[in-house]
Structure 1
Amino acid sequence: MHASTYEYLKPSEEQIETMAKLREAAAIYGKALEEFLPDGPDKTFVIRAHRSNAMWANVAVTRGPIKSDHIKAVEYLMTDPYHREGFWPQDLTVAIN
């Protein structure tokens, strides 16, 4: 268990900016899930899991240092990738690794 599991971690200004960008990226993906998944219990599960992952992303940001490469990857994702040809950009894995 992480030492800060039950503690409040006040994010820095840089972390707040990163968290805002991650929330925007999560919202874009959430809209894609809503639009493309068929209605039913699986869709409900996927959307709830995505929401949980989005919240845990904020925890991860506050627990670790932010690297400029991470910010660049989030900014890349914010270009609304699911409207690009082929739904997701080919080089997405390069951007987040």
Structure 2
Amino acid sequence: MPTPLDFTAINAAALPHLEHLCARWLPGGRRIGPEWRCGSLGGEAGGSLGVRLFGARAGAWQDFATGEKGGDPVSLAAAIFRIPQAEAARRIAAMLGIAVEDRGHG
């Protein structure tokens, strides 16, 4: 049965898969220590964007070239795809097989 859109639960479910998600969303990057590093939210090679993959700050990300930053996988997906966070949460939930209520795109 679908559940209401729960950002906390979706972010928590995404964290164990964050390296795989980063590889898919930011294909020009690579893992360096506890971070996924790439050139920008466009996913090209480089080192300006860092995504913390694990540890106390898992999910935190920042593009040091632009100053854009966030604290979780949903905000990262929203920034990469330039979509609202609710839509990003729905897309991540769908990728992870989490059924959520469809309340439109907002």
Q: TM-score, normalised by structure 1?
A: 0.32
Q: Hey, which of these two has a bigger chunk of helix by percent?
A: 1
Q: TM-score, normalised by structure 2?
A: 0.30
Q: Hey, which of these two has a bigger chunk of strand by percent?
A: 2
Say which one has the larger Rg.
1
Higher relative CO (Cα under 8 Å, sequence separation at least 6) belongs to 1
